[in-house]
Amino acid sequence: MLVAAMATIVPLALFGAAIAASDVRITALDCASHPRRIAIQNKGDAAQDLTGWKLMSDKPNEVFDLGVVGTVEPGVNFYVFNGHTAPLVPEQVGGEWIYGWNPSEVYDPSLFVLDENGTDFIRLVDASQFPWREVSAMPCAGTLEIPPLQQPATPSPSPSNAEPGAGGTTAQTDGNQAASAQTDGAQSTGASQNASASGSTTASSRTGTTTAQTGNASGQVVGGPASGIGVLAVGSGRPLGGYALPLGLLGIVASAVLALVGGRVLRRALRRS
């Protein structure tokens, strides 16, 4: 019981560190065309290694591992195209790279990870170390609110592609992330989503086409504002920036309560024994 309580407390206490700034930003998003399109730029003065970085959409299995991009030089743009007519292998056009996320020459709407459905979005996450940092996000047209980033339950950084066997990454084929990842990944992620509240929720499936995202075990309170908050100028949803402080305080209070309750339960159990 104590272990369970502590496992719950750790991610809660770390919540406040989830906010981060970065010069690598999502600069444009298209959630309607074939393919869906994401533009990313390094707006800073220094190169940025994207090993362990991810693009994540609204569903847990919708993860694109940006390790394939490598290091992005200052001022450089690159693009991730998704679904129908996305490039099957990374393609350099006009000096800029385009990567395919669930690419397919054949139209299959299930391969799209982005839609103008009122809830969809994309976020850029530095998952190279724990806790993960959401560094940029952008909503699809019509989306009014981006929910906070869910941290993985286990305090481990996202593995790179060179570290097989770890969870939370997307397998890739020739630098692009395969169409079958979506389906297979959903299954793997399903296992991850159903993990117990113990926090040991990291799913790992390196079958070559599997996407798995960690986290979201019940009882966790995780989150973090997106750098794309400013885009969300309209709508009835709570401004995302407002979540940080209240949730952080709430987390601390909740942790203390849970620790007290857990301690009492543990004490009673010891007395009975």
Distances in Å between the Cα of 125 and the Cα atoms of 39, 93, 140, 234 are 15, 25, 17, 24
Residue 87 binding another protein, by CB under 8 A: yes
Alpha-carbon span 219 to 199, nearest angstrom: 9
Of 16-24, 95-103, 176-184, 258-266: span binding another protein (CB under 8 A): 95-103
Of 16-24, 79-87, 125-133, 209-217: span binding another protein (CB under 8 A): 79-87
Q: Which of residues 103-142 bind another protein (CB under 8 A)?
A: 105-107, 109, 115-116
- Site mask for another protein (CB under 8 A), range 3-42, x = bound: ------------------------xx-x-xxxx-x-x---
Alpha-carbon span 168 to 271, nearest angstrom: 41
**Distance between alpha carbon 256 and the CA centroid of its chain, in Å?**
28
By DSSP bridging, strand 63-65 and strand 53-56 are antiparallel
Of 94-102, 184-192, 198-206, 252-260: span binding another protein (CB under 8 A): 94-102
Choose which of 26, 98, 135, 232 interacts with another protein (CB under 8 A).
98
Residue 148 binding another protein, by CB under 8 A: no
Kindly compute the dihedral angle of the four CA atoms of residues 182, 164, 148, 190, in this order, to the nearest 10 degrees. 50
Choose which of 21, 46, 73, 94 interacts with another protein (CB under 8 A).
94
The full DSSP string for 177-231 is B-THHHHHHHHHHHHHHT--TTS-------SSS-B------TT-------GGGGG
Alpha-carbon span 229 to 58, nearest angstrom: 15
Question: Cβ–Cβ contacts within 10 Å for residue 216, how many?
Answer: 18
The amino acid occupying position 10 is V
Under rule CB under 8 A, how many of the chain's residues touch another protein?
A: 27
**Residue whose CB is less far from another protein, 35 or 262:** 35
Q: Which two tokens stand for residue 261?
A: 């309750």
Choose which of 64, 79, 132, 243 interacts with another protein (CB under 8 A).
79
Residue 174 binding another protein, by CB under 8 A: no
| Distance of closest approach, residue 91 Cβ to another protein, in angstroms | 6
Chain positions contacting another protein, by CB under 8 A = 27-28, 30, 32-35, 37, 39, 79, 81, 84-87, 91, 93-96, 98, 105-107, 109, 115-116
